[in-house]
Amino acid sequence: VSRHPLRVGLVGVGLMGGDHAERLAQRTAGVTLVAVADPDVGRATALADRLDAVVHDDPLSLIASPDVDAVVIASPGFVHEEQVAACLQHRKPTLCEKPLTMDDDSSLRLVEAEARLGRRLVTVGFMRRFDPEYVAVKEALVSGVYGRLLLLHHVHRNRAVPNAEFHSEMIVRDSLVHEVDASRFLFGQEVVEVTVLAPAPTSHAGPGVLDPQVAILRMAGGGLVTTEVFVNSRVGYEVRFEAVAECGSLTAGLASSGVLATRATPEGGVWGGLVPEDYRSRFARAYDLEVQAWADAARAGHAVGPSAWDGYAATAVSTAGMESLRSGGNAVAVTLPERPRLYPEDH
Ligand code: ISE
């Protein structure tokens, strides 16, 4: 491990990038946040001044800078391909927020570029793989005590959507993609078929937006996954799942705030936990563990966590899922090319 702190540059200082900035500057050991870049230069400058970093107008100049050892990418998905490709070109370890890119062709180009280098540099920010409950379920399944995994049932709810431009396919590409990755992780298998169904939408969805949606994934070993994604639930951030195996089931994500509150209402006393506002609080610990593990690995010269292949496989399933949604609910097969040797089958 290098004796020097890892000098990290951050691309994108929106909601997620702003959260990562605090994490990198204050809660990650062995790291110095040295540079930020964002099209909103005012926002980037305010953050950089406060955290003692420099601002780059151009994300590619941040990535190329000799003062930056490693890069966190929290920009919108449509610029990821160019930015991750630049990180590969400059041989810089990268933690790229999900989705890896917007479609499977561009994700596969990144896989091929990294495979050509023969060295893993990219980690995709599927933070649930670092969430202690997801990890505990994975370990329990691997232990064999529960027998073979048969089914997963996921629930994924957001209180409301971020803006008026929100459209139905974003539910598949930006939200369901987490369950795609979590299912690949928990089963240790690829997804071979996806179906996305839309019931009559909630009146809280925008005009024409199909919300909620129900996705069915068929896994390579024959297992099935159901997922409800509902992004205008009006309640808060609810992410939970039940894994059903041959000799028992495991449930994660119940009352994840851990706080049990009682409250007086005109109808009488109510009790229960508090629902987290969004992913930043619900998965704060997972993000901390993810960024720390990524930084430790980068300093030691290797890579951990979801790989470019995992990012590609998830994007391929999302692309097929969007096709299924457009078709009105046809099952769409997912066929992946041969997995390069750089990515062993141990996810
Ligand atoms: C957002 O981009 C995320 O990654 C959140 O975890 C997810 O719940 C949300 O639906 C996405 O838009």
Q: Cα of 177 to ligand 1 centre, how many Å?
A: 9
Phi/psi of residue 34, each to 5°? -105, -25
231 lines ligand 1 (CB under 6 A): yes
Q: Cα of 280 to ligand 1 centre, how many Å?
A: 10
| Residue of 284, 278, 272 whose CA lies nearest to 237 | 278
69 lines ligand 1 (CB under 6 A): no
Ramachandran area for residue 305 (φ above 0: left; ψ -120 to 50: alpha; else beta): left
Q: Cα of 246 to ligand 1 centre, how many Å?
A: 31
Q: Cα of 128 to ligand 1 centre, how many Å?
A: 12
CA dihedral 177, 329, 234, 173 (to 10 degrees): 20
**What's the pLDDT score for residue 249?**
96
279 lines ligand 1 (CB under 6 A): yes
**What's the pLDDT score for residue 256?**
61
Nearest CA to ligand 1 atom 10: 175
Q: Whole-model pTM?
A: 0.95
- Taking 50 as the pLDDT cut, the residues of the chain under it are none
238 lines ligand 1 (CB under 6 A): no
Q: Which atom of ligand 1 is nearest to the CA of 98?
A: 4
158 lines ligand 1 (CB under 6 A): yes
List Cβ neighbours of 177 (8 Å cut-off, separation of 6 or more): 98, 99, 314, 315, 317, 318
Residues paired with residue 252 on neighbouring β-strands, in sequence order = 241
List Cβ neighbours of 309 (8 Å cut-off, separation of 6 or more): 111, 339, 340, 342, 343
**What's the pLDDT score for residue 62?**
98
**What's the pLDDT score for residue 162?**
86
